[in-house]
Structure 1
Amino acid sequence: MTRTVRRTRRTLQVAGAATAALLALSACSSSEDTSSAAPGSPASTSSEKLSGTVTVFAAASLKESFTTLGKEFEKEHPGTKVTFSFGGSDSLAASITGGAPADVFASASPKTMKIVTDAGSASGAPATFVRNQLEIATLPGNPDKITSLKDLTSSGLKVVLCDKGVPCGAAAQKALDAGKLKLTPVSYEQDVKSALTKVELKEADAAVVYKTDVHAAGDKVEGVDFPESADAVNDYPIVQLKDTENAEAAKAFIALVQSSEGQKVLTEAGFLKP
């Protein structure tokens, strides 16, 4: 009788311990599942969708390509909007260091990018994403028969250059120096698009601009290559800005620019690979 009671007690103790273990395991598993689904956890954070506005300050020569990439970015990330400010890189750099709100800066030269980095306005190191080479833009059909950079020094031609403080102007001066040529333009323009417009409106016979701008103008102008341009190829750096209000979207836009998809858009526009 006593032996039977002891066996019964031992059986109940074992069963109780097993039940307690199962309950503990179930509670632990439930806790882990809840944690993985909790808002703000690593899993949920990585899957969060981008939203809000990304403000990009970019060199004027990037207008067509970046506008295309901006539309693609908005398509890939519903709920986002990309706004652009295009212009001379030096003016954009001055605006950024002066406190203008922006998330990304894409410059047409390392020199103008340095204005921003030296001021402590960049987040991280800039990365070169494309390069660009100069070309002479003439009137359609090239009525003045321009075939070289030296031809632009003819006194009978109205030639336009970018201002020397702008990357395209600095590159043009570098090319002229390489050819030991002196050129007095009818005007210096604040960005490459303004210089090109002078030719498109027939207010100038020629302008020294980028190949990408000649490409974008279509049949409004005609392009003339010149060997000195090889001595004045510009690197284009891009960087996330320090005071961005949308860091994740800014990083994503830069990633798109550097991606194979972004590089395809840029090279088709005439840019050179970095």
Structure 2
Amino acid sequence: MSVTLTPAGRRTAAAVLTAALLVPLAACSTDSTDNGSGSKKDKAGSSSAAPQVKLTVLAAASLTDVFKTAGAAYEKTHPGTTLTFSFAGSQELVAQVAQGAPADALVTADTKSMAKVETDTTTPTVIARNRLVIATGEGNPHKIGSLKDLADPKLKIVLAAPEVPAGKYSKKILDAQKITVKPVSQEPNVRAVLSKVELGEADAGLVYRTDARSATDKVDAVEIPDDQNAVAEYPAATLKNSRNADAATAFVAWLSTPEAQKILQDAGFQKP
């Protein structure tokens, strides 16, 4: 049976059909738009699918405080990137890299340590320098004034182990001045040396200037003249086995930017 619509009926039917077709289109245009890269954006233009990247950075123990500050600054200006730092003596970090530990970037406290894993890293860039000081108990109770005072057998001196960059630098400057020191202990990283002095388990120890600066309420720092000192260099590189190579390379490059350099120098590090 056929049905004949009046003109008014035909107009009503057409309106209903048009409305039905427009509803889904309106829903699509209201909720989100495609930015051409596959991610959706809301009306305000913010991405609802920003990439999330987690980077693991192996860093020398002497960078503990400053890298926490630097990491927070980097995450703030690079939304979606989360940094996790693993701090230890450079020799320990190098061993981890050689064993294939999952990480994205490496920063050591000397170029020799970095050179040991050159086949596992991109070309390193020196991002900062540092110098040694003599850390003593607060108020310097034993009145230590120079390197030669460390030879006093009555003093409990603690040094970083010979395989640690801080230990190598310590040996270098003591040997150059022909000073013999018999440490009560040799620690696996420079922060352990600082801790011994902080706790009163040692009368003095050789640490980086930045380490002593991080504990001014517990230790005093006796400066060592430049002509008797050693300069520590901090190279940074991306690990070739990184699963986030582009993001890791971006972070390593950022460490040389004015923003990062200000953070490092405010903490007492010297320009690279």
Q: TM-score range by the shorter chain?
A: 0.7 to 0.9
Runs of 4+ more than 3 Å apart: 47-50, 228-231
Q: Displacement, 1:79?
A: 2.1
- Per the TM alignment, residue 49 of structure 1 is displaced from its structure 2 partner at its CA by 5.4
Give the match's secondary structure for 1:219. coil
> Is there any run of 5+ residues in structure 2 with no aligned partner, and where?
1-34, 39-46
**How far apart are 1:251 and its partner, in Å?**
1.6
- Who is 1:95 aligned against? 96
**SS at the partner of 1:152?**
helix
Q: Name the residue aligned to 1:174.
A: 172
1:83 is aligned to 84
1:39 is displaced (CA, Å) by 2.5
For residues 113 and 170 of structure 2, the distance between their equivalents in structure 1, rounded to whole angstroms, comes to: 16
How far, CA to CA, are the matches of 2:177 and 2:190 in structure 1?
21
How much has 1:75 moved relative to structure 2? 1.2
Gaps of 5+ in 1: 1-36, 41-46
Deviation for aligned residue 1:52: 1.4
TM-score computed with the length of structure 2 as normaliser: 0.81
Separation in 2, partners of 1:50, 1:209: 40
Question: Greater shift after overlay, 237-246 or 227-236?
Answer: 227-236
Task: Tell me the equivalent position of 2:206.
Answer: 208
- Contact map agreement 1:103 1:250 (CA 8 A) in 2: yes
Partner SS for 1:170:
helix
CA 1:243–1:131: 2 relative to 1, 3 Å: same
How many Å separate the matches in 2 of 1:173 and 1:229? Answer: 15
Equivalences for 1:12-27 in 2 at 5 Å? none
The letter for the 1-side match of 2:103 is A
Partner letter of residue 157 of structure 1?
L
Over the matched positions of the two proteins, sequence identity in percent amounts to 48
Tell me, yes or no, if structure 1 residue 217 matches structure 2 residue 218. Answer: no
Aligned partner of 1:64 in structure 2 is 65
Q: 1:133 aligns with which of 125, 131, 134?
A: 131
Aligned-partner residue type, residue 65 of structure 2: E
Higher helix share: 1
The corresponding residue for 2:21 is none
The structural deviation recorded for 1:231 is 4.0
CA displacement at 1:230 relative to structure 2: 4.8
Paired with 2:147 and 2:258, the residues of 1 have a C-alpha distance of: 34
How far apart, CA to CA, are the structure 1 residues paired with 2:262 and 2:68? 14
Query: What residue number does 2:120 align with?
Result: 121
Cα distance in 2 for partners of 1:244, 1:73 equals 19
User: How far apart in 2 are the matches of 1:232 and 1:186?
Assistant: 23
- How many residues are paired up? 230
